[in-house]
Chains A and B, each alone.
Chain A
């Protein structure tokens, strides 16, 4: 358990660059245990780079990433997973040629080298119960699932990895409106179950609805932050990201 006052995840002055191109310029943010925090902003603002740096897929050029106050900056991805930092990347990164079940088993055994298999089975079955559509087709290649179903699989996989913090990168991207709603319902569901989430989204309206706190990222800088309900009411946010009142 984290000490009171210490955020579960803290990013301090994080810098990410690709060669000479700076994607993220000294940003700082905090995610407290049990919170859903969202990072919104236009394409190319540095949202994905931020998550990739936290998850160990990219090495930051500067700054710190702290998990419950411990420095986890620059850990390689598999070590970050060991620490409980679990990323659902943009585009979902499911293993299309492997079966749905194998995708889940890989996740269930990710943090436990020698697991009691019965326990593992039970956890995989629990995800099949949560997502019946996956259970019905468990032996089929994951690539046979539709985009929305693949997103369910990516969620199920992430939950099986027992995340201390779940990083979601554009989970609604490319999905039909009904499925977008389903994805955000799911975020609320795992929030109620006590999960801590850092959510990157272009669908600012829904992201602000399901989150406690929000940061607005533009061109690598955090330009606004505050409780999500306040940001949703902020005229600048409404003009730039909520585009009047149309539901997207």
Chain B
């Protein structure tokens, strides 16, 4: 039981990181950035290349990959979203162009690295384990949970306490009101993509380390989970996304332990369905949903 909780928290913290990035852009732009999973995947590769070919220690490679992810996010905004901004169909058009960009990036990685799963060399991460109560916890799990928690706290601080965070929230609420306050809306959107994609990149690297598995299609399943987490948490709610990410991780781990691994996604999405029926605004969503 304790073991499952630790495993669930571990998986859930990665989902939470991924979904927070997703949610941030959704909250600011009302747009789903479906290239988020490509950034997740590419940054796992970036960390791998830094470790394998440049012999960097992982704790140096991680921040580099996160920074690269942030910059890649700004490129995604520039290519897939900004040219469409101001069009009446910009939401659906952006959705489609981000799918296109994700497909292109995935194909490029496939071309370059091939379809096979790549692994981090042995010794990249600490392999010792410790006993906590009845649970065996690897140092890697502890480090990953700690990094995820630190990034969640950092994001909360950024959004609540800094000038950039205030401006991001202002644009999320009303681009026009933000403009009147002297906010350069395009720049704030670009910064939101940076932060969002840096979180996605961190999730990708940690996911790759956790399962020692980096592959061109690794973003696919996480993408669906990320969407489920956004909906479960309440569209656009950051604390909701964090909570729902952890909840989904726990749910998956317990399903595997008690029911069987083939039911993992069925139970996860079944619960999503139930939540939507019983509490359509999600766990921590805004009280009033927009009426049709």
Using a CB–CB cutoff of 8 Å, the interface residues on chain A facing chain B are 55-57, 76-78, 81-82, 87-89, 93-98, 102, 105-107, 109-111, 113, 157, 161
Contact = CB atoms under 8 A, between A and B. Distances in A.
Nearest to A97: B173
A87 B183 CA distance: 13
A95 B182 contact: no
Interface in B27-70: none
Interface stretch (B93-101, B161-169, B210-218, B258-266): B161-169
Q: Top 4 closest A-B pairs, CB basis?
A: A81-B182, A110-B182, A93-B177, A77-B179
B180 interface: yes
Interface in B136-172: 163, 166-167, 169-170
Contacts of B167: 106
B166 to A, nearest CB: 5
Interface of B: 163, 166-167, 169-170, 173-174, 176-185
29 contacts: A55-B180, A57-B179, A57-B180, A77-B179, A77-B180, A78-B179, A78-B183, A78-B185, A81-B180, A81-B182, A87-B180, A88-B180, A89-B176, A93-B174, A93-B176, A93-B177, A93-B180, A95-B169, A95-B170, A95-B178, A98-B169, A98-B170, A98-B173, A102-B166, A106-B167, A109-B166, A110-B182, A110-B183, A161-B181
A106 B180 contact: no
In terms of DSSP, what is the predominant structure of the interface of chain B? helix
A55 B167 CA distance: 19
In terms of DSSP, what is the predominant structure of the interface of chain A? loop
A56 B185 CA distance: 13
A239 to B, nearest CB: 35
A95 B184 contact: no
A106 B166 contact: yes
B166 A105 contact: yes
Nearest to B169: A98
A92 to B, nearest CB: 9
A109 to B, nearest CB: 6
B287 to A, nearest CB: 12
A88 B176 CA distance: 11
A98 B166 CA distance: 9
A56 B179 CA distance: 9
B170 A106 contact: yes
A81 B181 contact: yes
Contacts, number: 59
B27 to A, nearest CB: 11
Contacts of B166: 98, 102, 105-106, 109
A124 to B, nearest CB: 13
A63 B174 CA distance: 29
B179 A96 contact: no
Contacts of A57: 176, 179-180
A95 B180 contact: no
Given A76-B184, A78-B184, A95 B179 contact: no
B187 to A, nearest CB: 8
A77 B182 contact: yes
Nearest to A154: B180
A109 B178 CA distance: 12
Given A95-B170, A106-B166, A157 B181 contact: yes
B183 A95 contact: no
B60 to A, nearest CB: 30
A78 B184 CA distance: 5
Nearest to A143: B173
B173 A110 contact: no
Given A98-B169, A98-B170, A102-B166, A110 B177 contact: no
A210 to B, nearest CB: 22
A106 B170 CA distance: 9
Contact of A111 (B178, B182, B185): B182
A157 to B, nearest CB: 7
A87 B167 CA distance: 18
Nearest to A78: B184
B169 to A, nearest CB: 6
Contact of A94 (B169, B177, B182, B185): B177
Given A57-B176, A89-B176, A93-B176, A110 B170 contact: no
B176 A95 contact: no
A97 B2 CA distance: 40
A177 to B, nearest CB: 27
Contact of B173 (A87, A96, A109): A96
B188 to A, nearest CB: 10
B121 to A, nearest CB: 44
A102 B165 CA distance: 11
Given A89-B180, A161-B182, A95 B163 contact: no
